[in-house]
Structure 1
């Protein structure tokens, strides 16, 4: 079973993302134990559940153990094992410290007695900084194409059944030979209207912060992200299911898919025509997140159900790993969060041609 307790009917007065992230408190066992109320999403071809679910639900659990005037300002997460969407997750909150200005919580997500995800979260009391403040903030780039209402990219997070919408825009400096100079950009927002308080918006932002994050490295290097395993015995790659959808499209439809570049479209044409490339492009063999950090800059001053702009760049990749930075802005240009993620990024090797 994928939940510990039978899920209740969907609450139609709430947004889709609030229903997805709903927690059940196991107060009869321990007031600091929680579990997922509803089944968690396992993206097609991925090793486990969507990482954003663990990030957001551990935050949601921790938020329920601090006073109302305390708000999250940072969380530092580690993905330990792939989460199984067929098994309930138990979240255990440890109250490390409850001070006058700051509170610290650690949360472990467990399945079958093993830790699959762990995070340390820090909360700060509202207005603890005093009346006089040191303030500055980076600005959002000017002249960014705005989002288009009622339109989603064809992607895992933004399809018609997903809890949030996603629209990618053109990669900045995409023609540069230097991946570290490029910036991958998208608009995101929760689908529908979030009816909960600021905690619900923070959990939703945490969920969406994992959208395409480590994939920035593949995009800036223009790596082939779709498996051609249908023609061989090779291991399936991350986006094999997406490839099947792309192969069914004609050229006009392919050109409307925002996350494809011209190189992607050309290779899809060759695959459709049964032609192999003489010099195949490097292909992702494994891409998984290792850790994830979020710094919340204005945790009570934004809405996650309104369009937010994200800008991702990668300063380094090597030794089978890569690092990505992400800035998240409200539509009016206010910086609301900064995120950092490191992940495993390995190319398919020649000796992986057999299972």
Structure 2
């Protein structure tokens, strides 16, 4: 499997055109987090370093071919004094498979508050996801072998009142990553697609579905490192009509809310052959 450094090392072909590598995988289609992470790297490379990304919004249009590299076309939508906007199209074989808008801002001051972190067992006390009794979780954890992933047990989840579906996951890179804060933001973009729509399946464990990410929105709220423990608190407030909405809050181990995620995913029943 490719390392996160290899995955995020996109090649510049022209001023606004980049190419990301194809990676060895056991997945039937390119992992959505890989496409989003590479798209963000491409966008960042067209922005003055004084501007930091604070949000992105993307749509997955077609499944990615795991054997083909992906070309990223960047449109410089706006270059303002406080904000910069980029739009990125990810293309394979002449067709867009993903489109994303990302917004960047210069450092500014304002009001501050954030939610408290859920009370859950520390990651060191939890089993590795790759050793899970759930074969799908174990398989996916092996796919992300560069990452230490630990699921909070059903009986230990700090449940939000009224939550219809919820799960919590600790994760971090197994190895020390480069110090560049932008690298950690792009690495988190990659991992933010991990397990999120699975939160919608927690009340439906015996149901088999055709699942895929449809869209993805991510807000970067505070500095963090992706090689230090992060808690991914995931809920699904609604599922119906073959789709589910999932929300995620990502906390560092000190309890700071560092990112927020919203995703809609495909959750329709498998069709009979």
The two structures have a TM-score, normalised by structure 2, of: 0.89
Cα separation, 2, equivalents of 1:141 and 1:187: 12
The answer for the alignment partner of 1:19 in structure 2 is 6
Query: 2: CA distance between counterparts of 1:217 and 1:108?
Result: 28
Summarize deviations over 1:297-341 as a string: whole Å, max 9, x none.
01xx21110010010011111111110100000011000000000
C-alpha distance in 2 between matches for 1:285 and 1:222? 10
Matched, 1:33 2:17: yes
Task: List structure 1 runs of 4+ shifted beyond 4 angstroms.
Answer: none
Residues 289, 341 of structure 1: 8 Å contact kept: yes
Q: Alpha-carbon deviations, 1:166-200, whole Å to 9, x = none?
A: 110123688x9x99444200101122011140111
Give the deviation of 1:85 after TM superposition. Answer: 1.0
- Give the number of the structure whose alpha-carbon radius of gyration is greater: 1
Give the match's secondary structure for 1:86: coil
- Contact 1:75–1:122 under 8 Å retained in 2: yes
> Of the candidates 83, 89, 109, which is equivalent to residue 108 of structure 1?
89
Mapped partners of 1:294, 1:115: distance in 2:
21
Partner of 2:142: 159
C-alpha displacement of 1:214: 0.9
Q: How many residues align?
A: 263
Per-residue CA deviation, residues 188-243 of structure 1 (Å, 9 max, x unaligned), is: 11220111401110011111101111111112x2332xxxxxxxxxxxxxxxxxxx
- In 2, distance between residues paired with 1:22 and 1:124? 23
Q: Measure the CA separation in 2 of the matches of 1:179 and 1:41.
A: 41
- Partner of residue 255, structure 1: none
CA distance in 1, matches of 2:53, 2:192: 15
Q: Secondary structure at the match of 2:233?
A: strand
Q: CA RMSD in A?
A: 2.3
2:107 maps to 1:126: yes
Shift of residue 163, structure 1, vs aligned partner: 2.5
Q: Tell whether 2:118 aligns with 1:141.
A: yes
- 1:202-351 equivalences in 2 (<5 Å): 202-219=185-202, 221-224=203-206, 283-298=207-222, 301-348=223-270
Structure 1 unaligned segments of length 5 or more: list them.
1-9, 11-15, 225-282
CA shift, 1:39, in A, is: 2.5
Q: Give a deviation string over 1:51-98, Cα, whole Å, max 9, x none.
A: 100111111111111111110100001000000011111001111000
Inter-CA distance 317–207: structure 2 relative to 1 (3 Å threshold): same
Partner Cα distance (2:143, 2:239) in 1: 34
| Equivalent residues of 1:284, 1:345 under 8 A apart | no
Q: Find the residue that maps to 2:63 and give its secondary structure.
A: coil
Query: Which structure has more strand as a fraction of its residues?
Result: 2
What secondary structure does 1:303 align onto?
A: coil
CA distance in 2: counterparts of 1:137 and 1:153, whole angstroms: 29
Matched, 1:57 2:33: no
Q: Which residue of structure 1 aligns with residue 135 of structure 2?
A: none
Q: Which runs of 5+ in 2 are unaligned?
A: 131-137
Contact 2:236 2:244 in 1 (8 A): yes
Aligned to 1:69: 50
Q: Give, in whole Å, the separation in 2 of the partners of 1:43 and 1:307.
A: 26
Aligned-pair distance for 1:347? 1.9
